[in-house]
Chain A
Amino acid sequence: MIGVVLALLIVPLVAGLTCFALAAQVAAAVTVVSGLASFALVLAVVPAAAHHDLNYLSYLRADAVSTIFLLATGFLYGAVAVYAVGYLKGHHDRRFYAGLNLFAWAMLAAPLMSSLALLWIAVEVTTIISALLVAIEDTAAAAEAAWKYVLIASAGLGLALLGTVFAYYASAQVLGEHYNLAIQPLIQAGAQLPHTPVRLAFLLALLGYGTKVGLFPVHTWLPDAHSEAPTPVSALLSGSLLAVSFYAILRFYQFTAASLGSGFPRDALLAFGVGSLLLAALYVFGQRDVKRLLAYSSVEHMGILAIGVSFGAPVALAGVMLHVLAHAAAKGNAFMGAGVLVVKFGSKRISALRGGLDLLPWSGPLFLLAVFALSAMPPSGIFRSEFQIVYGGLGSGNYAAAAALIVLVTVAFFGLTASATRMLFTPAPLRARPTLSRGEPSAWMVVPVIAGVAVLFILGLHPPGELTGLISRAVAQLGATR
């Protein structure tokens, strides 16, 4: 299995670096191969990680929790790699493909790091590469979004680094000065850790990594970066990068809960989660840009993840793990569908996108399905995961938070579907019709979305046995510390 884990780190890195030297079209092919191969490699890790933790070379570790996040990134990387070929048709850019592969590499590396310090470095590398990808279209708006993103996210990660330093300080008192910030010994030593530095470390990490997750009130970079980045990058940012940053918070949650009991970290997560959900539910109304609309939906779903963890019940934690996967598929689909609309109509303004269902025989209905999935309509995976989270919340006595979750998710549902309905069902204005013919811009942009729908149905109707086993093990790892 060590070969598979190493290949997972090597394939996207080599693909990214070679893309700089290749002709653009060859770089596109390399990216597709690397994306699909990485997804296959992640799938190969699942059966082993569902039964035991994998530790290699003292710096690599894949347990059930990290494998869930690897799955989300692996799937989206594969889907987006295929989609990008259609998106860049005629304008292939090897810098873009290089950046895409390196971005995916950093996101795949982060959950595989066995130490908090290496995890921080991997997350910082994702920021650096993705900031350049946000700016790659070289427009004034893209430069603005990239600047805000790199400044706010880096400042947030500065706080996360300070949190990591305090985690080291707390743990070195128990584990000795030569302790290398490995996550597992830290969790095991939980009960002996001094409380004040642990509390400080968790809050700094929550605020710091929370900036990259997009939690309120440190979410402000997110709608700008998501709307100005090229669509394949937006899909990866939303479905994968936010989740990877949330993974870092989960690691801090684990040892904090082991040290202080789960009450303190759960309360903190609940406050950030409800704030994010409230903000997003209100902001999805009145959005004029389709990608900003989806960006606020991401803030909503990250809020749901935080609330789910705050419930602490095993069924809610299982819901959170499933939600990471289902959100990656649904949000990836929604961004990819929106990207087709933007390419077709040449605008991101919702008011300019009309008659999507008439003009896009595949992408129109698929976008509608993605929006319904994001709104937690059955039988999508998000319905199942949110149902589990609410059920866990009610079961653990968090009635007010569970009720708030239901109300705010419903509000967001109205906001999302109202905009989607306008884009898809309102007929295109007569003056636009002669210039727009019925048809898809590219088959490359449809196939990955169909794969995403299949994943959403599988997760919603009948998750495979290996995946259920993996989620159960992840829940035990997260809940074992309670």
Chain B
Amino acid sequence: MDPVAMGAVQAPGVYQGVADVIAAVMLLIEFGMLRQALARDQVRLYMAQSALISVLAIVIAADRNLPDLYALAALSAALKVVAVPLVLRRLLGRPRGNSAPDEEEPGGVAGSQTLSPASAVLAGIVLAAIGFFCFGAMKIHGMAGGPGGKNTAPATALSIAGAMVLVAFGLMIVRRDVASQAIGFFSLENAISLAALVVASGLPLILETAFLFDLLVAVVVFGMLIRAHHTKAESLSTADLTRLRG
């Protein structure tokens, strides 16, 4: 993943290197979600991925002297690392006050792969490659008009965000349980945040904040629907959601 080979015009500085590494680790975590069998562990991976987004926001804030981004990083961490996983765990938990939710529940999650884990990861690699090279080929290099007019955008990180978007869609497609599908959607949102941080770090704070609160509301709604489904179907699987067709 040499940025020079990928079309960047200059050798990566510290900031670019950090951004690219964070993006790459986020993509690896996305693969972890694709592979993971327990809903609880998927939520943990989501927390780690979200924490990395906050770290990246801090790095960009320091490098480009954008104080707004510190606030965004704090808010993002509070919501995505603490609040959202808390809500998800609570809602994924016991459907009718049963004990030990996650140990019984993965009946829906572990057995929910439509592909074997190896095939799913292989498909993920193909998707990631398509996303990576397509975004790379577009040669979009961050904010040309950044502070001092320097071209600071890590092009590789954007390509990785493109790869993450496709892998997140892949996760939603290859898993048949509501928990993984919801986590897939939230990690899609993380991928979009990554792309936004890389190419549009100057986006006004008020809009970023609105996006985050919107996400929180979406989590609650997802959670309510997961719970409704869980109670009705007594599993997290979507395999029986086949009444409506045609």
Contact = CB atoms under 8 A, between A and B. Distances in A.
B32 to A, nearest CB: 20
Interface stretch (B44-52, B85-93, B108-116, B237-245): B237-245
B195 A162 contact: yes
Interface string B183-200: 001001100100110011
Interface of A: 115, 117-118, 121, 124-125, 128, 131-132, 135, 138, 140-141, 143-148, 150-151, 154-155, 158, 161-162, 165-166, 168-169, 172-173, 176-178, 180-181, 196-197, 200, 223-224, 227-228, 283, 286-288, 292
Nearest to A145: B244
The 9 closest A-B pairs by CB, nearest first: A177-B202, A224-B244, A117-B207, A169-B199, A144-B241, A165-B196, A168-B200, A143-B228, A158-B188
Nearest to B241: A144
B203 A154 contact: no
B21 interface: no
Most buried by A among B146, B217, B244: B244
A158 B185 contact: yes
A165 B203 contact: yes
Nearest to B64: A177
Interface stretch (B23-31, B74-82, B120-128, B219-227): B219-227
A172 B145 contact: yes
B214 interface: yes
By size class, the interface of chain B is: 35 or more
B181 A177 contact: no
B165 interface: yes
A169 B204 CA distance: 12
Contact of B229 (A115, A117, A143, A180): A143
A165 B202 CA distance: 11
A286 B246 CA distance: 9
Nearest to A169: B199
B207 A172 contact: no
Given A117-B207, A155-B185, A165-B200, A128 B217 contact: yes
A162 B138 CA distance: 15
A172 B211 contact: no
A131 B244 contact: no
Given A121-B211, A132-B221, A144-B243, 8 more contacts: A117-B210, A146-B225, A147-B225, A151-B182, A158-B192, A162-B165, A162-B192, A288-B246
Nearest to A158: B188
Given A155-B169, A165-B200, A177 B143 contact: yes
Contact of A196 (B138, B195, B243): B138
Nearest to B244: A224
Contacts of A176: 145
Contacts of B178: 147
B140 interface: yes
21 contacts: A117-B211, A121-B214, A128-B221, A132-B221, A138-B228, A147-B225, A150-B218, A154-B185, A155-B188, A158-B185, A162-B195, A165-B196, A165-B199, A168-B200, A169-B143, A172-B143, A172-B202, A176-B145, A177-B145, A180-B207, A283-B246
Looking at chain A's contact residues, the main secondary structure is helix
Nearest to B208: A117
Contacts of A138: 228
Contacts of A283: 246
Contact of A121 (B138, B165, B210, B233): B210
Contacts of B189: 158
Contacts of A162: 165, 192, 195
Nearest to A162: B192
Contacts of A140: 232-233, 243
Contact of B200 (A121, A172, A178): A172
B169 A165 contact: no
Contacts of A161: 192, 211
Contacts of A115: 207
Contacts of A158: 165, 185, 188-189, 192
B9 to A, nearest CB: 16
A115 B211 CA distance: 14
B65 to A, nearest CB: 12
Given A147-B225, A150-B222, A196-B138, A228 B185 contact: no
Contacts of A118: 207, 210
B132 to A, nearest CB: 15
B221 A181 contact: no
Contacts of B203: 117, 165, 168, 181
A434 to B, nearest CB: 31
A287 B245 CA distance: 10
A141 B232 CA distance: 10
B218 A124 contact: yes
A200 B192 CA distance: 14
Contacts of B185: 151, 154-155, 158
Contact of B138 (A128, A151, A165, A200): A200
A147 B172 contact: no
Contacts of B225: 131, 135, 143, 146-147, 150
Interface in B129-179: 138-140, 143-146, 165, 169, 172, 178
